[in-house]
Each structure stands twice: as C-alpha cells, then as structure tokens.
Structure 1
C-alpha cells in the first residue's frame, strides 16, 4: 500500500512511495507528530540517481521488520536533496561536522526542534567491515533518546550552535577579509593547484576523481591572461584525459559523475545534467578537434537523452540498469563480436581498450579511446561507433530523473549557447532559448522563480540562490547568443531579487531568501561542489550584467561578494573554481566587446574571434541599439563591421580586423 510519498512530485520520493516505511515529506507536520509521540525524527536525504541510496532502500527501507521498528520508534522524513537543497545543505554541514565526511544517502536524527544529535551516511543491513547495521544504529538511538536525554540535548545544542556559527560566516571564510582576489592571489592559487595536480593522469588528487570543470575554466582564463604554462599544462592534460577515459561515454557522448580510480577508467555511471552542462561549455571553449568533438557529442547527448517534452532538461540518468551499475555502458569482447564483424570486433576491442580480463567488473570493460585512429581508421571508427550505439539502444536503459531543476537548466542554457556559437550550430542556441522560455514562464510564479518542475507543473519550492544566479547567467548567455533584449531584463529581475533577499551584511550571500522557511540555521556555503555555489553563480551573473549595462551597483556587489571568499579561494582553490574564474574575468574587466555592422562574413569573423576571448561578454548587432546599453552609439566604421573593445566602460578605438582583437 502506498505511503504519503505517493502524491510527491519528486521522482526520488516516488521511488519510496511503496516502502513499508511511513515516510513524511519535509514540513512542520512530521515534527508536530514526533512531539506528540515523544519520538525522534529520522531524516533520510538522497536523490534519484544515487546508487547507494538505491542499495540502502532495498536493504532496509523495503524490509518489513526494519520498517516496522522505524515506524514504531521514529517519525521518518524523506528529502530529495535536489528539490530541497536548503534542507540538504544544513544537515550535510552537520553530518560533516559530526563525522568528518558527508555524502548520500545521508541519515540524520533530529530532536523536535530540528536540531541533529546523530548523523551518518549509508548503513548496511548487516554489520560489515566494522560498520554497524542500520538496525543496530536505530536501536542505539532509541536507547539514547529514552535513557540519556541530557546527552541528546547537549549534542543537539552543540551542533545547533555550530551551524549558527557557520551560517554567520565564521567557519567558511565568509566573513569580511582585508584581501581581494587580486593578481598575486590568483598566481598563488595556480601554484597551489600545481602542487595538487596529477601529472600522470590529469586532474587533482587521487581517487575518486571528479571532473573539475570550474577549476579548469579558471585555468583557461588565467592562461589567456598571463600565458602561465603551468595553467595550460593542467588544463590540456585534464581535458584530454577525461575525454579519452571511461568517464566519457565514447559512444553516446556525455560524462559520468566521477571516476572511482585515479586514471579516469571506471566511472560511477550516473550522468548528471549539472556536470554535462558545465563540461559542454568548457570543451567548446577549450576547442581543438577533440574539444569540439566532445562538445558537439555532449550537446547532442543533452538534446537526445535529457530533454523533456516541455523543452527543459531532466536532472540525471541512473547509474544502474536491471539492478546492475554500468551494465548499459560496459562491453565484453564477446558482446562486441555479437554485433560487429570478426575483424571489426577485434579492432574495436583494441581501440576501445576492451580486454579479456575486463577493466570494470564481471569481465566487462568501460570504453576508452586513448588515441584517435588516423587515415582510413577515422571513418572505420565512425562506422563502428554507430553500430555499437545502435546495439546499445536495444539494452534496458537506466532510469531518468525527469524533474527540471532551474539552476541546472540555467547551466545547460549557458553551455548550449557557448557550443552553439563556437561550433556554429544554431540548433543548440534554439534549444537553449526554449529552455529559457520554460524557466521564464512555467518556473516563474507571481514574479518569483521556482526551483523545480515536472511534467509541465511547477513545484511548490522557492528558488534558492544558485537558481537565481545560474538562471540569470543563462539569460545573459541568451542575450549574447540571440540579441533579444528580453533576456537582459529577465536577468535584471533575478539579480535584483538576489540583492534584495539573499545578500548578507558583509557583502556575501545566504543560500536562501530572507523570507524563506526558517531552518535550524540559514544555509550559507560559498564553496563550489559539483555545481557552482549560489554565491559564485551570482557573482558571474552580476559581473556580466554590469559589463553589458554599465551598472556600477551590480559590479560593486560582485566585487564585494568575491572579497568574502578570498580566504577560501586561497586555502582550498579546488572548492572555489567558479569564484576564481569570476575573479579572472573581473580583474581587468570583464572585457566588453560590441560587434556592429552589416551581417556577413566580415562581421561573423569579428564575432567569432571575440567569442574566443575567455571571460568576455560579446554582443552583436546591425547597428546601435538603445535596449542593450553596450550597443548604444555603436556604429559600423566606413560601412564595415567593427568591434568595440571596452574595459569597465572605458573603450579603445574600434577595430575592423579580427587579428586586432585581444
């Protein structure tokens, strides 16, 4: 019999609607119920594509005995972290503080005021590797609640105080700092990253390895500004290694969530929109034959596998199919031989590193493409890939989390605009514009942005800061890609909302609005993770809006917000990549380029060169326009297309030769 989650909009919650656990959605009611029964609250947080969330659900939440004990002694709440990032952020901060690590599934036990006194991640159904079973954990918590109430209250109070300090900025580097993200600091950051760089495999640190898209964007901009060879080496080696390894889907395009090994061979196979949206733009800007191919294939993957009927983009594809992680994507030599000629099967096994022993599990291999075949091998590779992709389409596909998240769609819009312009593929820009219209209409309710929608219905949850920042940046990308000034106004509305409701007194930002639901602490985390933090996303949009309009208020807000993360950026640059990328752009700009003149090859050449300038904002028009301030007064030069290059509203003489652009 379905539980309360049967009416949820989140695909993750719906996965648990048939559990024997008497789940509640997050809200005031379950806490009132816990208070009435005098039992603690068990909060379980995960997301639809989370492999270990599925494992724990199967082992424990689908088990009748475990569910009966849980129902008797707790009030159980299930939260989709992608739908409620505010709830997730607060309790992930608590989990990390209490255990030294975080992750999903996240299991937190709370008192009646929402203060946590126990936290962990995955718990097995049986004691394993020195870890207690989930049942043992539940029994110990019941004993503590019943017999050691003073200890419970002391721990809960201590954690609540810690969360309040973090929210105030004292634990994140979010307080006022004397130093800005200046050139000296940025040079020091590159030195720090060079010390953490894996020169053999690319990327940073050891296993597991996540694609450092935002750090790579910083390195791309830094290398362009300084010609620092260290930045170029780290950028090129990592982009190539990720694109050639098993992390990248060599048949269908798109990147998996992360690599479980240091060499990018075996991924955790879930595919997330936010990863692919960012990597799409990065590879398009990185360029070259490999970068352009990967960007095109990743854009095609987004349109083919993640686009929803409404024109938005779904959140993720699962890692599993038929209950086995990676089954959809991995191959054995025998499976190659089933669909290819003997000669092509042997050749494909060599080209894609498919071995008899296997590079993955059960004798299967992930596909890698460590070098591109030359000459006749290029066409042979295209033919073999087409056959293998068609054969793979007959397999049972991983499930899709089809909710549309505003922030990640904003990232997808930006990535598609970059790829569309740099690869000269108008269909990508058109898809971005359709997604933008969905956010501007369906996701905008009573003038305020909503976090998620599904099947054309907006969810009830208000946008958080990352939604406003990423969507505003996406709107500004659409302005630059289409020339339609409506996107400039839509971005302004979002940014003014961010400044009015999310800004902190020190110039930084909270992750939730001033009128949002009160939690045990107001979440505030300036560090980038898999996607940009709300602060870094908003800083990018503020700086670009200022460059396009000349608004000193928005530029000042961007600079003040960046100052609050200087300490974080200096000490842990891998968690501040997007702020660092913004700092590179704002150090001397961002560069403002207006390309004006009659449509044709000359204007296209100027625009194409301008769009290759890292971090620049670029607008293109037939002539001067009043609705885009950067275009006011801009005219062709002697009838020829011209580019006006400005920094902080100070402009150089217009140029007509692309070679004269920066």
Structure 2
C-alpha cells in the first residue's frame, strides 16, 4: 500500500480480492454499468485486470505496478481501469482468457486485457513488470504504446478485433454431431491420455505439475471396466508420489495448488478448496480399489484439514488459503534444521529431518526446506535402529510438535468467499468420505453445507453463485448448478432422504430451462437472463475443475437411473454424441467427459436395500456397499414405514419389499437380477463376484 493512497471504489466491494486493491493508487472500478458507461462517454479503452485473492503473481503486479505513482498516473489518465475477481465472474474470466490465449498463446493470472468501450479485446497478457524484464515489456511502455494505438491507429486495432471476434465465436459453438459413444473409442482414448505419463513420478511429464484430478477419475473408472494393470499402476503411482511430495502438507493435510518442478517437491503454496475436494474423492476411490490404508489416511487428513481450517461458522467452506504470509511465499510452511530442533528437540531432530527431507542446504529459498517424505517408514526404522511401532510413534509425535510450532507463525491470508460450485465439490467429497470411512462427522458437515445453500436459494428465489462478508453475489452459473446437483445425489446415497433427490430433480429442470441450447445442443455457462457479454460462452474442456457440461452428463445418467425418466437418458446420449469427436481429439482435455462416457455405456448396478435404516443388519449391508468401488451404482434404501416421498421419485422402488420381515438386499446388474440376500456377507459375495462391466 502506498503511504499517500486514499481508498478507491473497491473498498466497498465484498470480494477479498477487490478489497486487496482498495488502496492502490489506480482509480479502480468494479465491473458494472458505471465503469462501462464512463468508457463510452469518454472514449477511453478499458484496462481489465482479472485475478483472485490468493494469486501470488497478482500480489506481485499490484505491488510493482498498481502502487507505483507514475504507472498509476498513466493508467488513470488513459484508461478506465476495472478489477474483476475471477471466482465471482468466471464468465468474464472465460471469455477474456480465451482472447489472451489467442493473442499470446498462453494464459494465467493476473489476466491483463485491453478492451474497447464495446468490450472487444485488442491486446492482453498476464503479469507485466514495471520495467522491461525477462522478455516482457515494462508496463509503462506497454501503456504508452496501446494509448497511442487507440488514439492514432484505430484501423490496426479494428483488424485485431475482427480476427479475434471470428476466432472467439467458437466459445459459443457446440460441435456438430459426432460418432456414437463406444467402448472401443474409450480403449483408444486411454492410450492417448497416458501417452505423456511420467513413469518415474506419476502425473504427466513436464513442469509445472498440476494434480490431474479429472484424469485420475477417468483412470479409476476405466480400470474398473478393463482391469488393465497399466492404468491402475498409473493411478496408484500418481497418488503415492503426490502425497509423499511437497505438494501435500505433511503436517496438517491438504494439497497445495501445483508443484513448480516435475517431482511434486516444491509447490506453489496456495491451497484451493476445489483441489482438496476433488483429490480427497480420488484418494477414497483408490482406497476402495486397492485397499491401501495410506490412501485412506491421506483422504481423511485432507477432509479434516478442510473442516478445521476452511469452514465458516455457518458450516460452509471458504475458497482458498494464500501462498504468502508476511509478504513471502511459503514462509508459513518451510523449515530449517534449527527450527526442527527447536520445536521437536535436538535428540530427535536428525530422524525428523531425515523423515521429512530437511537439510542444511535446503530445497527451497534461503536454506529452508519444503517437508516431504523421501523415505518410507521401514527405511527410516532401519536407518535409526527402531522397530516399526517405535518409528510410527516418533513420527506421530513429530508431526504433532511441528504442527503446534507452525501454528505460532503468521498464517496465510484466507479467502472467505463461499462459492456454490466449490462447496458442492466439497459436499460430494465429504459425503463420499462419510460412506467409505464410516465417518458421521463428514456426513453432518455435508448436510449442513447443503442445507445452507438450499436455504439461501429459498431466500433469494434462485440459486446463487457466491457469498462474501454476509453479502450475496449474482445468479449461479452452470458449474454451480451442475456440481450442486451432483452433490445432492451423493447426499441421497449417504443419508437416503428423498428431499435431496427432489431438489436435484428440481434444479435439473432449471438447468434445462436456463442453460440448455435448444438450437445447437450443449449447455451455456451463463443463464438465459444473464447480462449480455461479448459472447455467451459454452465450456466443454476441463480446467482445474471439470466442465459443467461433462458434470451435467453424469447427473443426467444418474437421474435416469433413479427416476427411469427417458428424457434424462436421451439428453445425456445427445450431448455425449455431439462431444465424442472433440473428446477423442483432446485426450487430456475432456477426461471427465470420458468418465461420463464410461458411465453411460456401463450397465447400471441397481442396489436396493429394504428395511429400517436404523436396523444393524441394514447398516452392515450399507457398509459392504460402501467398501466397494462401484462407479455405476444406483443405491436406494426403502424404509417400508416411510417411503411415499421416495416412490414419487424412484418408481422402481415399488417393486421391492422385505421378505419375511427381514432387511433385504436386491441387486440387479443391467438386465439381470440376482436372488435377494439377507446378510452383509451375502451382499458382499454378490458385489465381489461382479467385478467387470
């Protein structure tokens, strides 16, 4: 913050990111009619800056450029300056990120875009330094050049705009109908998907290295059908390497955003809610497949981290934790040998340093080390002449002491926005964690968060995108609807309240009304009554989170399995058929759609349990179901004493009743039904023998 700065308009915004720039010397506007009209009236181009509150390079550019008096003077004199939080406005971020990628061949944040008053982009980039550096033009020189072009060379700008407009029309297009979904295509796709697999470190070759959450989900689903060893090996290696690297917080649990290297060692330290939600789910699925307890522990520690550090008093979940504390990236997380000895004691320090890869030279800046697990417990026990029980005790105590010591440090900033889509991902992860780990705390947390979102929807009369500082912000986007519908279906398969199914059905109808493109197919990212932008985008590609279109396909398949309504099946089939060619041409770009295709082609595993959910025998049956990885299941519990609401949504449940008054399990795979069973053991035998779709 500049010592002479007075607050600008952003001081009164609810977004933490916008408020971070409230004392910049730049005359910032939030996106809205006032700024857009001002650009028209004064015929000044718009300088649009998009980022988010836990973005390290956003902080750097703000300090270097937006707090610099001379740079701020140029910005204020020549441009209408608008700040946008990408998490509040993913539509604007999507449109203008594509424009910058077309201009420069790359994207990222901070996103810096120059627009005409008609909102048409003519230049852009990401981070710009205050002086020429690293092959990038200094920001003042760039401002001068673009100001001159806008005033004196508008024909050049119009030529750029014309080219960009033609290319950006693809954002609103749905691919023409392609080939029908097929298992043979999926078998071919998995080979292309794994072509760049890193055989030594997991994930994909190269750096920086991001957790491939959607790919991991596709691999698990594909392995379930084919039993292909290479796919399971790729899945297991990636999960093991990520969890033992610096990408994972070895003390508290939870994953950082990505690693800057290709071995998962040095992370970019921010923690995002959506990463931890998706990865917790992937580790739980892999635990079901492999039985590896380590994977279950990672999932549990990740969910526990979110409940402890990312949960609002209302029971919903905050968006992110920053990479920086005290203005330094990673300071909160890294250690030196001296700090280890001070916190854990000199006697145990050598073992703890060896266990977590802490050395005098360090692996990070200024001789500090990012904690990771270079050796397994057996190797450490042999090195330090301890038995395995002693080693585990020492490491447990070491983690406790180091964590307590770290808690005395200045904590990173936390972005306390409540984003519906990201909360929905975490609700799904907690619901799944409740099932697999038999954890009632997770179930309660998932229910509380879902009830909050539904309660706010009822108050506002619509599903909302975001809450921040007790204020609500804007209508929900496709991602919010799609992810929340998925979460509601997951909740039903956790506590079996038909109200979750009813809400999912209701919201799916709203998606069809407000987002579906009835002329060309596919779902728009914005609702039909959204403000008019440069284009009305559709997004089919997975980014850090799966695309809303692919999640809706999953939802349609699941809703069809519950309701037997053929409209859901036909819409899923239509969307998949349109996107198959695009999926095959981009084997790592639509992995969640590939998993949806696996789901669409698989026979449904319909499991119906009849009985009082409080009966021990029925609870034991549920535990058996939850122990197995069954990606194509439809799980229903029918309580004969209270089933009217269920039967309205799941008509097939009418055909199932208790036999001889006992809790009874019915299993149908595709068109084949097995004889009913009355015990957990009998159900386990049915599910264990049905290993292939």
Class of the TM-score when normalised by the shorter of the 2 chains: over 0.9
TM-score by length of 1: 0.96
Matches within 5 A, 1:436-455: 436-455=450-469
Matches within 5 A, 1:13-52: 13-52=18-57
Q: Which secondary structure does the structure 2 equivalent of 1:124 belong to?
A: coil
Q: In 2, are the aligned partners of 1:442 and 1:457 still within 8 Å (CA)?
A: no
Q: What CA distance in whole angstroms lies between the structure 1 residues aligned with 2:145 and 2:341?
A: 54
Deviation at 1:489, TM superposition (A): 1.2
Counterpart in the other structure of 2:3:
none
Tell me the alpha carbon deviations over residues 184-220 of structure 1, each in whole angstroms, 9 at most, x when there is no partner: 1111111112211100000012111111111111111
Q: What CA distance in whole angstroms lies between the structure 1 residues aligned with 2:80 and 2:425?
A: 37
Q: Which secondary structure does the structure 1 equivalent of 2:81 belong to?
A: strand
Q: In 2, are the aligned partners of 1:542 and 1:558 still within 8 Å (CA)?
A: yes
Equivalent position to 2:156, from 151, 157, 163: 151
Question: Using a 3 Å threshold, how does the CA distance of structure 1 residues 465 and 96 change in structure 2: closer, same or farther?
Answer: same
Q: In 2, are the aligned partners of 1:607 and 1:620 still within 8 Å (CA)?
A: no
Deviation at 1:445, TM superposition (A): 4.8
Equivalent position to 2:172, from 153, 167, 172: 167
Deviation at 1:645, TM superposition (A): 2.7
Counterpart in the other structure of 1:617:
634
1:642 aligns with 2:647: no
1:470 aligns with 2:483: yes
Matches within 5 A, 1:97-176: 97-169=102-174, 175-176=175-176
Counterpart in the other structure of 2:68:
63
Counterpart in the other structure of 1:596:
610
Matches within 5 A, 1:226-245: 226-245=226-245
Counterpart in the other structure of 1:337:
341
Q: What CA distance in whole angstroms lies between the structure 1 residues aligned with 2:531 and 2:139?
A: 31
Which runs of no fewer than 5 residues in structure 2 stay unpaired? Answer: 1-5, 379-387
Q: What CA distance in whole angstroms lies between the structure 2 residues aligned with 1:454 and 1:650?
A: 50
Tell me the alpha carbon deviations over residues 363-390 of structure 1, each in whole angstroms, 9 at most, x when there is no partner: 1111112423533211211111001111
Q: Which secondary structure does the structure 2 equivalent of 1:442 belong to?
A: helix
Counterpart in the other structure of 2:320:
316
Q: What CA distance in whole angstroms lies between the structure 1 residues aligned with 2:672 and 2:645?
A: 20
Equivalent position to 1:425, from 439, 448, 455: 439
Counterpart in the other structure of 2:276:
276
TM-score by length of 2: 0.92
1:414 aligns with 2:428: yes
Q: What CA distance in whole angstroms lies between the structure 1 residues aligned with 2:166 and 2:32?
A: 22
Question: Using a 3 Å threshold, how does the CA distance of structure 1 residues 198 and 654 change in structure 2: closer, same or farther?
Answer: same
Q: What CA distance in whole angstroms lies between the structure 1 residues aligned with 2:42 and 2:185?
A: 55
Equivalent position to 1:295, from 294, 299, 304: 299
Question: Using a 3 Å threshold, how does the CA distance of structure 1 residues 558 and 653 change in structure 2: closer, same or farther?
Answer: farther
Question: Using a 3 Å threshold, how does the CA distance of structure 1 residues 641 and 555 change in structure 2: closer, same or farther?
Answer: same
Which runs of no fewer than 5 residues in structure 1 stay unpaired? Answer: 170-174
Tell me the alpha carbon deviations over residues 18-58 of structure 1, each in whole angstroms, 9 at most, x when there is no partner: 11111111123212111211110010000011100010001
**Comparing 586-595 with 322-331, which one deviates more in the overlay?**
586-595
Question: Using a 3 Å threshold, how does the CA distance of structure 1 residues 365 and 227 change in structure 2: closer, same or farther?
Answer: same
Q: In 2, are the aligned partners of 1:547 and 1:591 still within 8 Å (CA)?
A: no
1:510 aligns with 2:528: no
1:90 aligns with 2:95: yes
Deviation at 1:647, TM superposition (A): 5.1
Deviation at 1:340, TM superposition (A): 1.1
Q: In 2, are the aligned partners of 1:404 and 1:452 still within 8 Å (CA)?
A: yes
Counterpart in the other structure of 1:535:
549
What is the root-mean-square deviation of aligned Cα atoms in Å? 1.7
1:194 aligns with 2:194: yes
Equivalent position to 1:483, from 496, 520, 529: 496
Deviation at 1:127, TM superposition (A): 0.9
Deviation at 1:554, TM superposition (A): 1.4
Question: Using a 3 Å threshold, how does the CA distance of structure 1 residues 380 and 181 change in structure 2: closer, same or farther?
Answer: farther
Q: In 1, are the aligned partners of 2:173 and 2:520 still within 8 Å (CA)?
A: no
Q: Which secondary structure does the structure 2 equivalent of 1:564 belong to?
A: helix
1:263 aligns with 2:263: yes
Q: What CA distance in whole angstroms lies between the structure 2 residues aligned with 1:321 and 1:589?
A: 51
Question: Using a 3 Å threshold, how does the CA distance of structure 1 residues 448 and 117 change in structure 2: closer, same or farther?
Answer: same
Q: What CA distance in whole angstroms lies between the structure 2 residues aligned with 1:378 and 1:244?
A: 16
Q: In 1, are the aligned partners of 2:610 and 2:664 still within 8 Å (CA)?
A: yes
Q: In 2, are the aligned partners of 1:359 and 1:366 still within 8 Å (CA)?
A: yes
1:327 aligns with 2:349: no
Give the aligned length. 656
Counterpart in the other structure of 1:218:
218
Question: Using a 3 Å threshold, how does the CA distance of structure 1 residues 597 and 8 change in structure 2: closer, same or farther?
Answer: same
Q: What CA distance in whole angstroms lies between the structure 2 residues aligned with 1:141 and 1:124?
A: 16
1:351 aligns with 2:355: yes
Q: Which secondary structure does the structure 1 equivalent of 2:146 belong to?
A: helix
Deviation at 1:278, TM superposition (A): 0.7
Tell me the alpha carbon deviations over residues 85-136 of structure 1, each in whole angstroms, 9 at most, x when there is no partner: 0011000111111111110000000011101000100001111122111111
Deviation at 1:637, TM superposition (A): 3.6
Q: In 1, are the aligned partners of 2:464 and 2:476 still within 8 Å (CA)?
A: yes
1:659 aligns with 2:685: yes
1:383 aligns with 2:406: no
Deviation at 1:590, TM superposition (A): 4.2
Q: What CA distance in whole angstroms lies between the structure 1 residues aligned with 2:603 and 2:327?
A: 51
